[in-house]
Amino acid sequence: MTSDAQSTELTDGFHLVIDALKLNGLNTIYGLPGIPITDLTRKAQAAGMRMISFRHEQNAGNAAAIAGFITQKPGVCLTVSAPGFLNGLTALANATTNCFPMILISGSSEREIVDLQQGDYEEMDQLAIAKPLCKAAFRVLNAEDIGIGVARAIRSAVSGRPGGVYLDLPAKLFAQTMDAEAGRNSLIKVVDAAPRQIPAGDAVERALALLRSAKRPLILLGKGAAYAQADEAVRALVERTGIPYLPMSMAKGLLPDTHEQSAAAARSYVLPEADVVVLVGARLNWLLSQGKGKTWGGKDHKTWGGQKFIQIDISPTEADSNVRIDAPLVGDIGSCVSAMLAGIGADWVKPPADWLAAIAERKNKNLAKMAETLSRDPVPMNFHSALNVVRDIVKANPDAMLVNEGANALDFTRSIVDMYKPRKRLDVGTWGIMGIGMGFAVAAAVESGQNVIAIEGDSAFGFSGMEVETICRYDLPVCVVVMNNNGVYKGTDVNPTGGPDVAPTVFVKGARYDKIMEAFGGVGVNATTPVELRKAMEEAISSRRPTLINAVIDETAGTESGRITSLNPQSANKK
Ligand code: FYN
Ligand code: ADP
Ligand code: MG
């Protein structure tokens, strides 16, 4: 190429970052403008990308994380340096913990000054801080390396066990110029970013042999199975083996919760009673009592219950992390489940009838008990009578995305609101965190185009409530229902000193969260009865207008820490 040609067209760091993302089909950025990435947000929008601006980076980060879960492409979050980066980092760490693919891109200050600690504007060694909290972290110093940096970030985020990646882009990089043609040539369109991982034949045979020996088999579906988008294979595994299955929270809907093989309503019966458990994209972490203890029929909290496990997972180091895994099956879920199906012929013997009958009995008892509770109409409204409405609305709108956080608002929704389709339930995940609500809701609407219903505890909502403005600004079809019981867990605690401060778990009584939505032009409704709640939700779904319903719940309803009270230490000293 002649030097003339080189000088006629130039590109710069801003454009190369945008071009690299677009080349790889990453067309949406969740972020918050400011020094040094303001112009990047403008140029991204000008280049036809969807730039969704938030009010706080943590919410943008959560949006990117859940976009990754829904789409299998890394969700991109863009922040400013130091504090903006740290705000986004919380979401990046959470994404990594949950195995959601995400790339946090943060601008950073002058390397020379940061490294000599000479006191730059927003000085921070962001790369070093990000490293232990994510799957991989990279920094790009030269414009010609942007293509490589973005490619490495994408591969790291989605290959193997998905997770969060940090990409550090110093301010000086953006203005660096280079020849446009050379710039184009430096970009990489990543080929086969998340390669299939085929399980070894002997591992498949080992798993099938163990499964054949089972008298009381159980399939446990985790959010890894939902993420994998191997929905048909997973359904075939369940239906062709006839084995009862239990969905983890975000795996609800992988098969409809009303499926006759669902053992969700007999959870505390099937876990200790099962003899062989197939874990499909689920870890034996705290949500499954580490695979041992009383939940699994062990004598005390450390004792193994005697189950044998088949674990299907893409991470080869996941097996044996808590209890012995007799048949690890390493590979992507689609390939592993398909390989198992190939070995499951028409002569597969269904599980013994007494096992299925025993589960059905427990399940029907719990379903009947639930139906009775849901048929009541107490005054004031409680979680059950409010969620009975949500249950009907979700049933009538199975394509709607359901976001859910809180303690009681989370636990009751999980067991009351049936899901009918995969990847529709988005919740607090592996850490059980508060604060994902509005970030998840925004991304769920942006990525799916569907109605979003966000069931929020009043405390949980507070962590991301300002994003109601974001929902209104982008006119997203999000219906937020705040389960308002005046506090964390409930609103009845009192200050034992009799002093003027309220108890630490109590909020302003009778708060009107619906007014926050009205402040930005959305629809706010104060609902004190199931009838009012139903009408407001139906209108929100059909109008697709941003809506916030303040559902006034009995302030005495709710348990401290919900279903995980046992994790909440209480002082024995009554003073
Ligand atoms: C479930 N159940 C049902 C149904 N579905 N009954 C009737 N109908 C339906 N559809 C029953 C189920 O059999 C259990 O009863 C009970 O309801 C609870 O079910 P769940 O929620 O699946 O089981 P459990 O024991 O709560 O599960 C443990 C858990 C879960 C840790 C996986 O609690 C969880 O995901 N928690 C996340 C908590 C969290 O992150 N909180 C945020 C922080 S709160 P039995 O079988 O009779 O036991 C900070 O304070
Ligand atoms: P849950 O909380 O629902 O039990 P976890 O997040 O604990 O689910 O577990 C998800 C598991 O799924 C992780 O161990 C992860 O490695 C695995 N996983 C994620 N994606 C895939 C995939 N495509 N194929 C196989 N395993 C996967
Ligand atoms: Mg509350």
DSSP 256: -
CA-to-CA distance for 109 and 16, rounded, in angstroms? 19
Contact 393, 534 (CB under 8 A): yes
Contact 481, 455 (CB under 8 A): yes
Q: What is the pLDDT of residue 126?
A: 98
CA-to-CA distance for 189 and 205, rounded, in angstroms? 37
Contact 98, 68 (CB under 8 A): no
Residue given tokens 């002649």 in the structure block = 2
Q: What is the pLDDT of residue 7?
A: 56
Q: What is the pLDDT of residue 1?
A: 44
Q: How confident is the model at residue 2 (pLDDT cuts 50, 70, 90)?
A: very low
Instruction: State pLDDT tens for residues 235-253.
Output: 999 999 999 999 999 999 9
Pairing of strands 75-79, 50-53: unpaired
Percent of the chain predicted with pLDDT > 70: 99
- Give residue 537's identity as a one-letter amino acid code: M
Residue 266, ligand 1, Cβ within 6 A: yes
Distance between start and end Cα atoms, the chain: 82
Residue 75: φ, ψ to 5° = -75, 140
Q: How confident is the model at residue 559 (pLDDT cuts 50, 70, 90)?
A: confident
Residue 565, ligand 1, Cβ within 6 A: no
Question: Is residue 431 over pLDDT 60?
Answer: yes
Contact 520, 468 (CB under 8 A): yes
- Residue to probe by mutation, ligand 1, list 223, 283, 366, most atoms within 8 Å of CB: 366
| Residue 395 CA from chain centroid, whole number | 21
Residues 6+ apart with CB under 8 A from 295: 268, 271, 272, 288, 289, 305
pLDDT (average), residues 258-284: 98
Q: Ligand 1 center to residue 415 CA distance, Å?
A: 6
Model's pTM, two decimal places? 0.97
CA-to-CA distance for 216 and 306, rounded, in angstroms? 12
Instruction: State pLDDT tens for residues 485-516.
Output: 999 999 999 999 999 999 999 999 999 999 99
Q: How confident is the model at residue 572 (pLDDT cuts 50, 70, 90)?
A: confident
Helices vs. strands in the chain: H and E counts, helices first: 23, 19
CA-to-CA distance for 103 and 484, rounded, in angstroms? 34
Instruction: State pLDDT tens for residues 307-328.
Output: 999 999 999 999 999 999 999 9
Q: What is the pLDDT of residue 571?
A: 86
Neighbours of ion ligand 3 (CB under 5 A): 457-458, 485
Residue 559, ligand 1, Cβ within 6 A: no
Please give the helix or strand (H or E) that residue 246 lies within, else none.
strand 245-247
Residues 6+ apart with CB under 8 A from 129: 85, 86, 89
Contact 244, 356 (CB under 8 A): yes
Pairing of strands 308-313, 276-280: parallel
Q: Looking at per-residue confidence, does 135 or 572 come out higher? A: 135
Residue 358, ligand 1, Cβ within 6 A: no
pLDDT (average), residues 333-345: 97
Residue 26: φ, ψ to 5° = -95, 100
